[in-house]
Amino acid sequence: MKLSGGSARVNALMAQMSLGEKLGQISMLADGLVETGPPGPHNPFNMIVDGRVGSLLNVWGAHLVREAQRRAVEESRLGVPLFFGLDVVHGHKSIHPVPIAEAGSFDRQLWEATARDSAIEAMADGVHMTFAPMIDVARDARWGRIVETAGEDPLVNAEFGRARVRGYQARDEKGIMRLAACAKHFCAYGAVVSGRDYAEADVSWRGLEEIYLPPFRACVDEGVAAIMPAFIDVAGMAMTGHKRLLRDMLRARWRFDGLIVSDYNAIAELINHGVAADAPEAAALALNAGVDIDMMSDAYFNGLPIALERGLVSMDEIDMAVRRVLNFKEQIGLFDDPYRNMAPSASKEEIPKTLAPERRALSRQAAQRSIVLLKNEGALLPLKAPRSLAVLGPLADAPNDQLGPWASAGDGQDAVTILAGLRETYAQADVRFAKGAPFEGRDEDELEAARKALAGADAIILCIGESRMMSGEALSRTKPEIPAGQLELARMALESGAPVVLAINSGRPLVLPDWLVEGAHAILAAWHAGTEAGPALAAILSGACNPSARLAITWPRTTGQMPLFYGLRPSGRPHDPQNTWTTGYYDCPFDPCWSFGQGLSYTRFARANLRVDRDALDLDDLVSVSVDVTNIGTCEGVETIFLFSRDPVAQVTRPMLELRDFTKVALRQGETRTVVFVVKVRDLCYLDEDRKPRLDDGAIQFHVGASARREDLERIDVVIAQG
């Protein structure tokens, strides 16, 4: 979006506005339909008439937004319409899997489709902006917000971000973007020390350039409407006032001309960070860094008049921010139709029947493509015709929890639980249910009920993990594990002797005890898979759907391994279990429980003929890397192929693997297809010590295969000869 210009209408408005009205436009206040931060002293509905607020968050529903808009348009002096923002993160009413799960579909079209669907639903509820996508690369499962991310990889986050922006911002029949996207949190929020939310991050310039910034660059290139700076400080610079990154990089170098919206209360929190003495200084820092909208802190409204008097800001800077907000409102059509999509003025066609069958179908498809099969000993799954099933665990019949955190307007009443899904799928079987344990703590009666339920069962479906309140914002955990009471239930299930299918429902990879990983016959990362989690899991367990998802995040063995990720730089003393003097741990194996990209299918695939179309390359060349993939199993299935590269000798150390591309290929039994990746040689450059892109003559390795595990990859080399 280009927001710095101005139409005659915007210019005329600007000329009439008082300072207070201008500051109102750049102030966003929260209403209380949902609480996403500390409540403020405001009653925003009453402040609208005074022109004291330009946008609201956390309010939706045609009735409410229409009333708020009426006050703005009909009762405020200048009648400037409001816009409404909300965290529509993984669905609005139809809830799709949490992002860490859906990322594992590695399916760009799905990522876009679920965002488009969310936009249609949210738009009908009067929402204009979503605070999504969240594209913070995250590598530490202690951090509760890992659930909102697309995982550990910069390229996956970048592609996920692009697809989301396309989906949210898809145009309606009038050619107006349905839902403006706000990419967040710029930047390095995923690197908070110790995985503790709101903590500092110490990231080198190389870490920023290579890991944390590329997803934002991708969203800017895709035309994202807004960016939200992170709450935190990065290497001593509070992001909400980070002039170098916001103004010099984002605005000047990347030419981002959309809105910069502060995080919740983040401008006032510059005082807590110790970089501003009072609200006027905090407001000046943020405004001068390029932040247009103050979410919830009042620092702009109360602090900027004083900052003006003190000469800390100029009226031009304030005007620039106001102009951007007004231009945004104009571009999303609010001046022409302030009640856009707010019933009853909206046409019937524009108001989707939420949770209509086609919406549920998309949610179910998304869930099926996000649930990862991690273990399937003795081909226990699919479970074709069990006579009796014991369904155990606090997540088996937990309609609200399966929606996960940030479930927007999602309602547990619309959710179909795992128990319901299994009962429908296995209608002929005796399906018994017992919760067995609360989320935390233990309950002897529940345990006894579970003991009865599992007696004589052909198989046990064990649904344990986290409640929706155990991951998300401000929900870091020092022990990202399955709570003890649930583990007691798991032990009882294993000791019964019946085969156990462990479905881990969570917002993060959870550390599992060895006995559980070894003892469970089948293991699935079922995540919080949304409204249709139940039918989706049942379809996978019964074989109606062949699982195809992969982990977008390395699954650790133990908390002490965190942060854990595949893209390590080589050690001078590479890990060798036979040699003490090498990198690793005394008390834990070096490798993770499961690697990035791992995930099983009910069929098997083979790769052959890895090849390149040319082996000597110059900087401007393109190179095709191809491999033949064959379905050598007994049913149709979908394989994911990853392309990594490695630069083995450079002026600086380079990661052992860098993801360059990924694709999915659907294959019938016995079918072979060729997967072709086209790589721009220039994209293989690294930044040298002077921060200049560079590629040295010599070999570059391509590693192609099914995951980041060594044994899942084949290698082919090309030679760079510039010349």
Of the pair 232, 362, the CB lying nearest ligand NOJ is at: 232
Q: For the purposes of burial, counting CB atoms within 10 Å of the CB of 260, is it exposed (0-12), middle (13-18) or buried (19 or more)?
A: buried
The kind and range of the H/E element at 676 are strand 672-680
Of the pair 186, 439, the CB lying nearest ligand NOJ is at: 186
Beta strands in 289-422 (DSSP E): 294-295, 372-376, 388-392
Which amino acid is residue 269, in one-letter code?
E
Going across the sheet that includes 622-631, the strands are 605-612, 622-631, 672-680
Q: Least CB distance from residue 170 to ligand NOJ, whole Å?
A: 21
87 belongs to the binding site for ligand NOJ (CB under 6 A): yes
Among 6, 14, 33, 36, binds ligand NOJ (CB under 6 A): 36
Among 90, 93, 139, 184, binds ligand NOJ (CB under 6 A): 184
- The Cα-based distances of 689 to 611, 696, 698 in angstroms read 33, 14, 19
Q: Least CB distance from residue 198 to ligand NOJ, whole Å?
A: 9
Among 21, 121, 401, 473, binds ligand NOJ (CB under 6 A): 473
Of the pair 83, 131, the CB lying nearest ligand NOJ is at: 131
Cβ atoms of 592 and 561 within 8 Å: the answer is: yes
Q: What is the per-residue binding string for ligand NOJ in 477-506, x denoting contact by CB under 6 A?
A: ------------------------------
Q: How many CA atoms, within 13 angstroms, populate the side-chain half-sphere of residue 145?
A: 24
125 belongs to the binding site for ligand NOJ (CB under 6 A): no
Cβ atoms of 660 and 675 within 8 Å: the answer is: no
Going across the sheet that includes 658-667, the strands are 616-617, 713-720, 698-705, 637-646, 658-667
Of the pair 226, 318, the CB lying nearest ligand NOJ is at: 226
What is the 3 state secondary structure string of 387-401? CEEEEECCCCCCCCH
Q: Least CB distance from residue 444 to ligand NOJ, whole Å?
A: 40
Of the pair 184, 528, the CB lying nearest ligand NOJ is at: 184
Q: Least CB distance from residue 227 to ligand NOJ, whole Å?
A: 12
Of the pair 227, 389, the CB lying nearest ligand NOJ is at: 227
Q: Which residues of 382-414 are buried (b: 16+ CB within 10 A; e: fewer)?
A: bbeebebbbbbbbbbbbbbbbbbbbbbbbbbeb
Of the pair 58, 640, the CB lying nearest ligand NOJ is at: 58
- Taking each helix axis as running N to C, give the angle between helix 484-495 and helix 444-454, from 0 to 180 degrees, rounded to the nearest 10: 30
Residue 239 has φ and ψ, to the nearest 5°, of: -65, -30
Q: How many residues bind ligand NOJ (CB under 6 A)?
A: 9
713 three-state secondary structure = strand
Select which of 125, 136, 263, 397 is catalytic: 263
Q: Least CB distance from residue 181 to ligand NOJ, whole Å?
A: 12
Of the pair 129, 684, the CB lying nearest ligand NOJ is at: 129
What's the alpha-carbon Rg for the chain, to the nearest Å?
A: 26
Closest CA to 28 of 338, 391, 293: 293
Q: Least CB distance from residue 118 to ligand NOJ, whole Å?
A: 15
559 belongs to the binding site for ligand NOJ (CB under 6 A): no
186 belongs to the binding site for ligand NOJ (CB under 6 A): no
- 298 noted as active-site residue: no
Q: For the purposes of burial, counting CB atoms within 10 Å of the CB of 612, is it exposed (0-12), middle (13-18) or buried (19 or more)?
A: middle
Closest CA to 118 of 131, 106, 107: 131
Of the pair 87, 532, the CB lying nearest ligand NOJ is at: 87
Beta strands in 292-434 (DSSP E): 294-295, 372-376, 388-392, 430-434
Among 140, 152, 263, 292, binds ligand NOJ (CB under 6 A): 263
> Would you state the structure tokens that stand for residue 305, as one six-digit string?
């008049």
Among 264, 426, 439, 644, binds ligand NOJ (CB under 6 A): 264
Cα(255)–Cα(248) distance, rounded to whole angstroms?
9
**In the bound complex, which residue of the shown chain has the CB atom lying closest to ligand NOJ?**
36
> Would you state the structure tokens that stand for residue 203, as one six-digit string?
């990231």
Cα(122)–Cα(23) distance, rounded to whole angstroms?
27
Among 6, 14, 33, 37, binds ligand NOJ (CB under 6 A): 37
131 belongs to the binding site for ligand NOJ (CB under 6 A): yes
607 three-state secondary structure = strand
Of the pair 296, 610, the CB lying nearest ligand NOJ is at: 296
Q: Least CB distance from residue 473 to ligand NOJ, whole Å?
A: 6
Q: Least CB distance from residue 270 to ligand NOJ, whole Å?
A: 15
Site for ligand NOJ in 342-371 (CB under 6 A): none
Binding site for ligand NOJ (CB under 6 A): 36-37, 57, 87, 131, 184, 263-264, 473
Active-site amino acid positions? 263
